[in-house]
Amino acid sequence: MTTVSDLDLIFFSGLNHIDALLDHGPDWNFQNPGGNVITYTFSITSGNEQGETGQKAFTAAQMANTRTAMAYVASITGIVFSETSNGASASVHFVNTDIPDFSTSGLCSWY
Q: Strand pairing of 92-93 and 80-83?
A: unpaired
20-75 per-position pLDDT tens digit: 666 665 555 555 555 678 889 999 887 666 677 778 899 999 999 999 999 999 99
pLDDT of 84 above 90: yes
Distance in angstroms (rounded) separating the CA atoms of residues 99 and 16: 19
- Where is 83: in which H helix or E strand? strand 80-83
**What is the predicted pLDDT for the residue at 9?**
66
pTM as predicted: 0.65
**What is the predicted pLDDT for the residue at 32?**
53
**What is the predicted pLDDT for the residue at 70?**
94
